[in-house]
């Protein structure tokens, strides 16, 4: 499977990474070469094999549904590039 | 001998006897770090914290309540969240990030009285095998054979360089596809990746959550046993952390492997394997046989597909984990032009903050998870992963106790030498280690000799799940038999 420039542009947008138009051919070529490498997987007979979902078979722990953490907005906001009045600030989202 | 050159075990005994203080040990490491700028291993130094912790450790040792790691000066990989101390995963996107919390692993170490010297370089978000994707520039291998600067390996390259150059007694590393074992092999030190779930991932910057495990990088197998015991714990904050007791790994080092069955997988004799690697492996097999182990030829038929499966699964998980770096809550945010909106902010922030390899992997991961390709790539890779795990389960069911393989397909290479290479060529560095992460098994890299050019080479032992003690005992026997004692000559 080779990736064309339009697919590379689409993937970059899905990943929310801006890629300048003149870098797209190189990106498409790099992604194609990695995907070609992955294509070896098509040689494997996976008929009837369940996809692995957990590394070690274990049942997830349960606990009582109660608040165990929180109540420190100043810590949460401390590393924000732009925080105001107890909130994260971002460019306008809704007109 | 300078105090910074001590092993954990020797330092522990000297501290206990009162021959040395934690402050003296720490000062010795700090002064060595000051003179080792050329190695670029430490990227955020914390001498004030170190001296304060060392004083507290000395008081604790005096009071008689001192665990093994008390007063031991350590370097910490930049991937571990350390409260109030820069934690950047070697990425510009986390520029300026100082966590308000401590990772479980480092908290366990500080609770035991260990001392933090600073944060160590690594490949950006642990994606790389040469430390060259670090936003700080690469750490440099203390081993040198000509005028070239060599890679210490990656992703835990700063940790490996710091331990090999005695800039700490030991360091933390993390391993997603070989990131502890490959740099350990490149620098002549010991590194173990424990069974998936043995060590808490809480507070460790996530790369691929189903593969990531932290572990110690040390000067000896005994040190690895001591430090691993302190790093392990059941942690309710990590849902995949195993709720099973942590045994005394050091007590497992009996040096007796008589009658144990050691598997030699034929699929690891890869095409084009350098003669020095083949020779080292053959020597390792002979050593284990001499120690009384039974050598058994085994087959792990899906080995060949481990790398391509890994390079689907790991980027897929990474693309999801790294979605959180959006310029909103922490780290870098791009400057916006008038009229630019929130999508521009995301796209510009991530383009500026992520380096090329991270961008590549996030995009590959996005692609293999996207509609129409999920089954063809991601689901197929997960099925192949199940088969790789089954290969191991079958040989362990045959009674195999551990598996001996090379750790890396080569010795350390020069920084910049892979610049023009296809990304896939660098991925080949993980060829012997990545199966272990896919199967969730413990694996340890043991330095076993110098190659034809005088650079260290390592062998890998792979163990049964949760049997790190037994695995380390095998590693201990190999270490004793190989008698690797070479150190890099100081040029920095």
Per-residue pLDDT tens listing for chain B (492 residues): 799 999 999 999 999 999 999 999 999 999 999 999 999 999 999 999 999 999 999 999 999 989 999 999 999 999 999 999 999 999 999 999 999 999 999 999 999 999 999 999 999 999 999 999 999 999 999 999 999 999 999 999 999 999 999 999 999 999 999 999 999 999 999 999 999 999 999 999 999 999 999 999 999 999 999 999 999 999 999 999 999 999 999 999 999 999 999 999 999 998 889 999 999 999 999 999 999 999 999 999 999 999 999 999 999 999 999 999 999 999 999 999 999 999 999 999 999 999 999 999 999 999 999 988 999 999 999 999 999 999 999 999 999 999 999 999 999 999 999 988 887 888 888 999 999 999 999 999 999 999 999 999 999 999 999 999 999 999 999 999 999 999 999 999
Identify the CA nearest to B195 among candidates B448, B411, B396, B378: B396
State the total domains in chain A.
Answer: 1
Residue A23 lies in a domain: yes
Q: From CA B67, how far away is CA B420, in angstroms rounded?
A: 49
DSSP characters over A18-58: ---GGGHHHHHHHHHHHHHHHGGGGGS--TTPPPP--SS--
ipTM above 0.85, yes or no: yes
Residue B474 · residue B249 · CB < 8 Å? no
Q: Does a structural domain hold residue A25?
A: yes
Give domain status of residue A11, yes or no: yes
- What's the pLDDT score for residue A55? 87
How many angstroms separate the CA of residue A91 from the nearest CA in chain B? Answer: 5
Identified catalytic residue from B91, B103, B130, B179: B179
Q: Determine whether B241 is an active site residue.
A: no
CA distance B175 to B153: 12
Triad B184, B156, B425: Cα angle to 5°? 85
Instruction: Choose, out of B315, B322, B384, the residue to mutate when testing the contact with A (most A CBs < 10 Å).
Output: B384
Kindly state whether residue A33 falls inside one of the protein's structural domains.
yes
Strands B402-406, B170-175: parallel, antiparallel or unpaired by DSSP? unpaired
Contact (CB<8Å) B465/A56: yes
Interface test with B, best of A23, A41, A66 (most B CBs within 10 A): A41
Question: With an 8 Å Cβ cutoff, are A16 and B384 in contact?
Answer: no
A60 falls within a domain: no
Q: Do A56 and B304 touch (CB under 8 A)?
A: no
Minimal CA separation from B111 to chain A, in Å: 21
> B104 in helix, strand or coil?
helix
B237 near A CB under 8 A: no
Residue A75 in domain: no
Are residues A93 and B341, on separate chains, in Cβ contact within 8 Å?
yes
State how far residue A43 is from chain B, nearest Cα, in angstroms.
9
Q: What residues in A contact B389, CB-CB < 8 Å? A: 52
Are B305 and A40 a contacting pair at CB < 8 A? yes
Chain B hits for A48, CB-CB cut-off 8 Å, are none
A69 is a domain residue: no
- Cα separation, B453 vs B276, in Å, equals 9
Q: Is B155 noted as a catalytic residue in this protein?
A: yes
CB–CB contact B328 A80 (8 Å):
yes
Q: Across the interface, which of B311, B342, B386 has its CB nearest the CB of A93?
A: B342
Contacts of B99 in chain A (CB under 8 A): 79
Nearest CA among B396, B483, B492 for reference residue B436? B396
A56 vs B96, B196, B345: nearest CB: B196
Rg (CA), chain A: 23
pLDDT value for A1? 62
Best residue of A45, A54, A81 to probe chain B, by most B CBs closer than 10 Å = A81
Q: Is the predicted pLDDT of residue A94 greater than 90, yes or no?
A: no
User: Is residue B358 left, alpha or beta, with left meaning phi > 0 and alpha meaning psi from -120 to 50?
Assistant: alpha
B159 is annotated as an active-site residue: no
Q: Give me the mean pLDDT over the A28-37 stretch.
A: 93
pLDDT tens, A53-84? Answer: 888 887 888 889 999 999 999 999 999 999 99
Would you call B320 an interface residue with chain A, using a CB distance cutoff of 8 Å?
no
Q: Is residue A76, in this structure, part of any structural domain at all?
A: no
How crowded is the C-beta side of B443, counted as CA atoms within 13 Å? 37
Whether residue B134 contacts residue B479, with contact meaning beta carbons closer than 8 Å, is answered with: no
Give B 447-466 residues with CB within 8 A of chain A.
465
Determine whether the interchain pair B240/A55 forms a contact, defined as Cβ–Cβ distance below 8 Å: yes
Q: Where are the alpha helices (DSSP H) in B333-420?
A: 342-353, 356-369, 380-397
Q: Is B40 left (phi over 0), alpha (psi -120 to 50) or beta?
A: left
Which residues form the domain of A23? Answer: 5-41
B243–A93 C-beta distance less than 8 A: no
Among B91, B103, B129, B155, the one annotated catalytic: B155
| Chain B contact set for A91 (CB, 8 A) | 336, 340-342, 344-345
**Do A79 and B100 make contact, defined as CB atoms within 8 angstroms?**
yes
Question: What are B190's strand-pairing partners?
Answer: B218
> Under an 8 A CB cutoff, do A37 and B465 touch?
no
What is the C-alpha separation between B272 and A55, in angstroms, rounded? 32
Chain A closest CA to B178's CA: distance in Å?
17
A55, A76, A80: residue with CB nearest B210: A55
**No. of helices (H) and no. of strands (E), chain A:** 3, 2
CA dihedral A31, A34, A36, A39 (to 10 degrees): -120
Contacts of A88 (CB under 8 A, 6+ apart): A77, A80, A82, B328, B329
């Amino acid at each position: 499977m080779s990736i064309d420039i339009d697919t590379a542009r689409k993937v970059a947008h899905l990943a929310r990474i801006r890629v300048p138009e003149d870098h797209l051919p190189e990106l498409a070529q790099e992604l194609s070469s990695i995907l070609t490498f992955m294509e070896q997987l098509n040689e494997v007979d996976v008929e009837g094999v369940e996809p692995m979902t957990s590394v070690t078979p274990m049942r997830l722990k349960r606990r009582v549904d109660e608040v165990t953490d929180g109540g420190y907005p100043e810590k949460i906001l401390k590393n924000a590039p732009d925080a105001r009045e107890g909130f994260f600030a971002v460019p306008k989202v809704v007109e | 001998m300078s105090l910074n050159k001590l092993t954990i075990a020797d330092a522990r005994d000297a501290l206990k006897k009162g021959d040395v203080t934690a402050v003296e040990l720490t000062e010795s490491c700090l002064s060595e770090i000051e003179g080792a700028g050329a190695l670029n291993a430490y990227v955020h130094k914390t001498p004030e914290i170190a001296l304060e912790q060392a004083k507290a450790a000395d008081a604790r040792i005096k009071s008689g309540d001192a665990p093994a790691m008390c007063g031991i000066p350590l370097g910490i990989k930049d991937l571990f969240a350390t409260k109030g101390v820069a934690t950047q995963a070697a990425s510009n996107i986390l520029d300026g990030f100082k966590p308000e919390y401590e990772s479980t692993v480092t908290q366990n170490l500080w609770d035991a009285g260990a001392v933090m010297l600073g944060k160590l370089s690594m490949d950006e978000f642990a994606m790389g095998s040469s430390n060259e994707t670090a936003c700080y520039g690469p750490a440099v291998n203390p081993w040198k054979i000509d005028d070239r600067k060599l890679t210490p390996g990656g992703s835990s390259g700063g940790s490996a360089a710091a331990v090999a150059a005695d800039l700490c007694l030991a360091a933390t590393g993390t391993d997603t596809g070989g990131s502890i074992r490959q740099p350990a092999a490149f620098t002549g030190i010991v590194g173990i990746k424990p069974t998936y779930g043995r060590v808490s991932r809480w507070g460790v910057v996530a790369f691929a959550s189903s593969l990531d495990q932290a572990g110690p990088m040390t000067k000896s197998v005994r040190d690895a046993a001591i430090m691993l015991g302190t790093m392990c714990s059941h942690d309710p904050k990590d849902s995949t952390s195993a709720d099973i007791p942590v045994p005394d790994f050091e007590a497992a080092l009996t040096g007796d492997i008589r009658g144990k069955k050691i598997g030699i997988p034929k699929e690891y004799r890869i095409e084009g394997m350098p003669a020095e690697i083949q020779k080292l492996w053959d020597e390792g097999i002979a050593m284990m046989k001499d120690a009384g182990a039974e050598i058994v030829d085994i087959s792990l038929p899906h080995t060949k597909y481990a790398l391509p499966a890994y390079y689907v699964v790991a980027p897929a998980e990474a693309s999801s984990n790294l979605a959180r770096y959006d310029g909103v809550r922490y780290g870098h945010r791009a400057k916006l032009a008038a009229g630019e909106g929130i999508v521009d902010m995301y796209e510009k922030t991530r383009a500026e903050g992520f380096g090329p390899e991270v961008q590549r992997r996030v995009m590959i991961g996005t692609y293999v998870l996207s509609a129409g390709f999920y089954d063809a790539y991601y689901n197929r890779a997960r099925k192949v992963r199940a088969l790789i795990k089954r290969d191991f389960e079958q040989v362990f069911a045959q009674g195999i106790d551990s598996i001996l393989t090379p750790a890396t397909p080569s010795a350390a290479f020069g920084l910049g030498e892979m610049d023009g290479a296809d990304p896939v060529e660098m991925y080949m560095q993980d060829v012997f280690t990545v199966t272990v992460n896919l199967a969730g098994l413990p694996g340890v890299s043991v330095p076993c000799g110098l190659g034809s050019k005088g650079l260290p080479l390592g062998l890998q032992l792979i163990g049964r799940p949760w049997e790190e003690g037994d695995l380390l005992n095998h590693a201990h026997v190999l270490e004793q038999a190989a008698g690797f004692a070479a150190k890099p000559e100081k040029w920095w």
